[in-house]
Chain A
Amino acid sequence: MQSTLLKVKESRWTSRLLSPIILVLLILVFAIATGGRFSNPRNLKMILEQALVVGTVATGAVFIFATGNVNISMGATTALVTTIAAKAYMATESVPVMFLVALVAGVIIMGLTALLSTWLDVRVLYVTVVMMTLLSSIQMSILGSANIQLPYDMTSGMGDANVPLILFIVFFIIATVLFHFTALGRKLRYIGINDVCAELTGFKRSRYLLIAFLVAGVGVGFGALSTIVRNGTITTDTCSTLNMDCMLAIVLGGMSCFGGSRSNTYSAIVGAVMVTVLNNGLLMLGVSNTILQAVRGVVFIILVCASQTRPQGLPSRDG
């Protein structure tokens, strides 16, 4: 019995199946608890729409997390990119320009974050602590006291054309191919497993960290565009919970936030839906927004603990 259980625990499929099962259970629980309000098609559609932004950014974040690095400035980056792209649209009234600006801005800011980490030889986490506040203050000074109100015609038109969904699918497919079907993903994971060993296998950490950030930067650009389409109004509150949502999504999806072997893009999509279901369901049950943040924090800590595999007995010993 014990051996069967262990086999199940060690199986590669357990973590991949576990998350969808929990997701279905969550939906059922919320559906019953809210007396069906949660499961009505309009609400479910809204959840999926919300999940698209988180899913897009989280998919990019998988590349960074796989290397064993934690980035906490992705939300702030997306917020700033959203603001810059919206400004660009207001100035030119051209959708292609807005797309281009979003992508370029996302890639540049993320690339810069990676370079700062490697140039200064400071861990990504610490660089992003600084970046988070820095980018937020830049966004605030760009916005000033006024919010940016984008024309309704443009946002609703793009919404009707399912632009966020298309952006997500395009990015997810590209990311999945890169991550699972080319050497890139394997190298990133190997860096997450043991970065010294990866360096000695010829995978230059600084180079692959930059590549990971550039891919994530594309995700940020796409995520920013989806945010513009969904929200229509850009305020200092835009994307304020996005970073936590992404980190939660990644661990809820079954990936370890310490990267390594079990990293996969699939976690981002399943996790993104789970996070939004959790947010939406709890709000619907009357949990206040402030308490919701606390609940999410607790869930995150529990998952991080659970996803850390502890060595049995003493590490690196024989006999």
Chain B
Amino acid sequence: MPNKGEVVLEVKDMCKYFGVTVALDHVNFTLKSGEVRGLIGENGSGKSTVSSIAAGMQKASSGEMFYLGKPWAPSTALEAQKEGICMIVQEAGTIPSIPVADNIFLGHEDLFSFGPFVNHPKMVAAAQALLDELGIGIDASVVTGRLDLQQCKLIEIAKAMYWKPKILVVDETTTALSQTGRELLYKLMRRLADEGGSVMFISHDLDEMMTQCDAVTVLRDGHIIGSLNKDEFDGDVMKKMMVGREVKGDYYRSDMDPYGEEVVLKADCITTRRDLLCFDLELHKGEILGIGGLSECGMHTVGKALFGYEKILDGRVTVGPQHTVVKDVETAIKNGMAYTSKDRDHESVGLPGSIRDNIASTGYIKNLLVGPIISFKKEKAYVEKEITDLSLKCASQYHSVNTLSGGNKQKVVFGKWIGGDADILILDCPTRGIDIGVKASMYQLIYKMKKEGRSIVLISEELPELIGMSDRILIMKDGQVTHEAMRADHPTEHDLIEYMI
């Protein structure tokens, strides 16, 4: 390990272009050993780009890097990993169909080889030893697909830690982790820094950044705006640096507006294959119902079950004044329901499709000309309206969703359902991985929808968000509601956490 305070990584005059988009514009950056350095910035500011170039995942368009004083140009992530720069990425980085141990040593099977064969028991034993040492309670021999998102993330962390990295890049990992997972990650990060390594930590959660980092560097539109040391940390200053204008400290709703009496959606003692056993829930007209808990508490299953996407073994979900039973997704949608998944890129939006393909998908019936024939003009206007209403940043509605930033992708998802006039929205982690600028507009939008008389189930792992937005909060643990808090009672994070663990 290098000595404390020594420069381990230096980025000089780096540029990166994606086609016509400039992701990095002459960036200069140094990383010292023994520090946890935060990188903050809005979506598309270049923080993931610069760190993934250092970790060998992509190449810079121009510029140089120096690692431990020597020129650094890794050609693959594996090479960077062997040299001591490891990255934990935002999206899933494990292969579901193979055992945990195989994922941990993916690409390094030669460590356990004899001749052309791999000594698999030895590999599993090594993986188990590693997991135990890090305090991750996962069996190394199980198939990865049986684990949830949080456990997969922990495996990725273990995978990176095996190489005793000199630089660990943690990119937006905590959004997938519950409190216990986060604590574990923070501990590992700190341990690494204390041993003389360095951590590049990327997160949208400013509170987390302020408590965990020794210094932060702010990026905006591919430029470095500045750096702050721990004693200079201030939420409002950071936000201003990120967005480039003043952002008010509080962006949740501040009203105490009531909601209706009428029950629009009701879960009546539903049991699912996993997580839920005789679960009840009532959603009222114009209500924002928050559901919180640890990631594995079953709240994500609640969202899917309400929408008819999770098989309900016993009990039923009914919607609307006629108490129509939601037996599948189709019935749910017909009755004005909408669902946005936590796993946005895989379940809520068609990435390779255009913005129009996505938003128009809920409006075919509304945009008819005569009979079953669709009016292209109406459809275009329909999509255009959502783009303007949500101030979605794009060149045109024919643009592929792939090219948009996370926040704008989420806007496409919202636009799709709002355009389809959904009255009951089930939003699972709607602000996951979204920067504060867009987050604020999402909150306004959720509030606006409430005002319009729509009902919202807000499932979230972020307590401040739930407290700030919900009329009523349900806290879940092990598939059961352990606590119910009303907005009028002004619950605090501290009160609620107790019921989660």
Contact residues of A with B, CB < 8 Å?
2-3, 6, 12, 177, 181-183, 186-187, 189-190, 193-194, 196-204, 260-261, 309, 311-319
Contact = CB atoms under 8 A, between A and B. Distances in A.
7 smallest CB-CB distances across A and B, nearest first, come from: A193-B350, A183-B364, A194-B350, A193-B353, A319-B48, A202-B333, A318-B43
Interface in B338-386: 339, 341, 345-354, 357-358, 360-362, 364-365, 372-374
Nearest to B304: A200
B433 A201 contact: no
A301 to B, nearest CB: 21
Contacts of B212: none
| Chain A CB within 10 A, most for which of B47, B341, B365, B374 | B374
A100 B467 CA distance: 66
B243 interface: no
A118 B373 CA distance: 29
Contacts of A200: 307, 309, 329, 339, 341, 347-348
Contacts of B352: 193-194, 260-261, 309
Given A312-B18, A314-B58, A319-B48, A201 B362 contact: yes
B351 A194 contact: yes
Nearest to A203: B361
A319 B46 contact: yes
B402 A199 contact: no
A186 B364 contact: yes
Given A12-B398, A177-B373, A190-B353, 20 more contacts: A3-B20, A183-B372, A186-B357, A186-B360, A186-B374, A187-B364, A189-B353, A193-B351, A194-B353, A197-B347, A199-B329, A200-B341, A201-B361, A204-B330, A261-B352, A313-B18, A314-B52, A315-B351, A317-B89, A319-B41
B84 interface: no
| Chain B CB within 10 A, most for which of A181, A189, A198, A315 | A181
Nearest to B408: A318
Nearest to A177: B373
Contact of A312 (B19, B48, B309, B374): B19
A307 to B, nearest CB: 12
A92 to B, nearest CB: 36
| Chain B CB within 10 A, most for which of A187, A197, A260 | A197
30 contacts: A177-B373, A183-B364, A183-B374, A187-B361, A190-B350, A190-B357, A193-B351, A193-B352, A193-B358, A194-B352, A197-B348, A199-B309, A199-B329, A200-B309, A200-B348, A201-B362, A202-B330, A202-B334, A203-B361, A204-B330, A261-B400, A311-B402, A314-B89, A315-B402, A316-B91, A317-B48, A318-B44, A318-B407, A319-B23, A319-B48
B44 to A, nearest CB: 6
Nearest to A11: B398
Contact of A316 (B23, B345, B364): B345
A156 B56 CA distance: 67
A318 B433 contact: yes
A313 B77 CA distance: 13
A194 B349 contact: yes
Contacts of B45: 319
Interface string B16-59: 00111001000000000000000001011111110010000110
Interface in B376-416: 398, 400, 402, 405-407, 416
